[in-house]
A and B are shown apart, each in its own frame.
Chain A
Amino acid sequence: MASRVVVVGGGVIGAACTYFLTAAGAEVTLVEAQVVGGGTSSRCDGNVLAIDKSPGFDSQLGLRSQKLLAELAHVLGDFEYRSPGSYLVCDNDDEVEPAHTWTEALRESGLPVEFLEREEVHRRLPDLAADVPAGLYCASDATLNPLLYVQGLVAWARERGASVRDRSPVAALDASDGRVRGVVLASGEHLAADATVVAAGIATPALVAPLGIELPIRPRKGHLIVSARGRRFGDAKVMEFGYLMSKFGLERRVPPDVERYGVALVYEPTRAGNFLLGSSREFVGEDTESDPEVVRTIARRALRFYPGMRAATVVRTYAGLRPWTPDHLPVVSAAEGVPGLFVAAGHEGDGISLAAVTGEIVRDLVLGRETALDVAPLRLGRFGLGAA
């Protein structure tokens, strides 16, 4: 049992951990190096998807998070949560059979997914390019404003006694006798804790490395294009089926630049009346500058699926760093062999989707409760590296 908890990292994962721990009565201090919600959680879309998770455990995590989010939408202030469903559309005939197989597998996992033949996909998405051969639809998929979601979680916890320390970089975990006892800030200040949760995204490996824990999380850069308010191309989220193939590293029949930058169409309308376009996936270090070549490839990809977007006005492009793991699952785990230390990181592009279920699991791990799901697949020790 632990009552004093330090959460390191004020992104969506740290915010959700802070929320669930505070709600359970723990005394939480959230420590953020810069601005709460200002890192990867401000350079992302608002997808809350089950459709893009592997059937089985992965999709169960997604569904659990969707259920928790629907509850959070009643508890927190408005964060533009809505549940319009989402579409995956096929680029060419080669993708139709895999999309069919994917649909069946997700249905067997209990997801409300349906396969859409050519005629049906064009009936529902009239702006799509005429040669799109098929698609699928997941009715439970939701969307939200990630900026407001993070701030809402933190504001709720703060009102109930959680302490928030922004602009407070952590110099090191405070470890002695093989146990973590809190953190030491760059200012030299010690924050003591019974449990320390490291939820620092791509910064997590460096924080736990001094304890001999080798965590294979790497920054996977992704770009987004932001439109001005204007004509929209439907109210539901649309991705190309190749997004999944890109996410899981499968071969696609696409132009070379699309392949090189891991580009796949993501169209996300927002409540503000504009839309976002993605996506790209690259291992290019920690640079978050927009790369014009990647942006151009994403723009071309959008026009391949939505020829009518030619005249859409673009006001901003930016990039964020997804915390990638080798098996595309996050680490949500006690650090085996290091009492007092917990890790919640490595959600790649699923941080917004999975923050709620992550916060719930962390609460249960820290407070010694039984978790709602079997969390063995999320264990730190699964990579077979380092002390853990």
Chain B
Amino acid sequence: MTERAPSGPETTVVCRCEGVTLEELAQASSRYRVASLRQLKLVSRAGMGICQARVCAPALEALARGWGLAAGSGELRTRPPIRPVDLATLAGGEEG
């Protein structure tokens, strides 16, 4: 769900699903004195949309490393389901 087209450093979209820009990440990082990539995700919603960071994880990790944040492999954990699924399927398809 791209909400705006990238046209410069201040509008470079890092997380397309949630429409989080590079500038918003920098602001959130500074405002909350973010110390790790996980914390950056929690305060910005980057990586929390429909793709669950499957697209933006490399960019987020590179940014985090560049900013001196903890950016190890455990920072952006994937959780089930392994891909988006509708609720009826998750319920086992026997409902209704």
A residues neighboring B (CB under 8 Å): 35-38, 42, 77, 147-148, 151-152, 154-155, 158, 164, 166-167, 225, 227-229, 272, 277, 290, 292, 295-296, 299-300, 302-304, 307, 309-318
Minimum-distance CB pairs A-B, first 9: A299-B91, A310-B88, A228-B50, A147-B42, A299-B90, A303-B95, A300-B91, A151-B32, A312-B87
The CA of A225 and the CA of B35, in the complex, are separated in Å by: 27
- A295 nearest in chain B by CB position: B90
Please determine whether A315 and B86 come into contact, CB atoms closer than 8 angstroms: no
The CA of A277 and the CA of B90, in the complex, are separated in Å by: 12
Residues of A within 8 A of B31 (CB): 77, 155
Given contacts A155-B32, A272-B18, A303-B96, contact A315 B84 (CB under 8 A): yes
The CA of A160 and the CA of B49, in the complex, are separated in Å by: 34
- B78 nearest in chain A by CB position: A316
**B52 at interface by CB-CB < 8 Å:** yes
The CA of A36 and the CA of B45, in the complex, are separated in Å by: 16
Please determine whether A295 and B80 come into contact, CB atoms closer than 8 angstroms: yes
**B5 at interface by CB-CB < 8 Å:** no
The range of chain B's interface size is 20 to 34
Residues of B within 8 A of A164 (CB): 33
Taken residue by residue from 1 to 26, chain B's Cβ proximity to chain A (1 for < 8 Å, 0 otherwise) reads as 10000000000000000100000000
Say what secondary structure dominates the interface of chain B: loop
Residues of A within 8 A of B38 (CB): 35, 38
The one of A35, A148, A155, A296 in contact with B91, judged by C-beta atoms closer than 8 angstroms, is A296
Count: A-B pairs, CB below 8 Å: 104
Please determine whether B35 and A311 come into contact, CB atoms closer than 8 angstroms: no
Residues of B within 8 A of A317 (CB): 79-81
The CA of A299 and the CA of B95, in the complex, are separated in Å by: 9
The one of A36, A225, A228 in contact with B90, judged by C-beta atoms closer than 8 angstroms, is A225
Residues of A within 8 A of B80 (CB): 290, 292, 295, 316-317
- A164 nearest in chain B by CB position: B33
The one of B79, B84, B87 in contact with A303, judged by C-beta atoms closer than 8 angstroms, is B87
Please determine whether B39 and A311 come into contact, CB atoms closer than 8 angstroms: no
Please determine whether A151 and B50 come into contact, CB atoms closer than 8 angstroms: no
Residues of B within 8 A of A42 (CB): 42
Residues of B within 8 A of A38 (CB): 38-39, 42
Residues of B within 8 A of A35 (CB): 35-36, 38-39
Please determine whether A148 and B87 come into contact, CB atoms closer than 8 angstroms: no
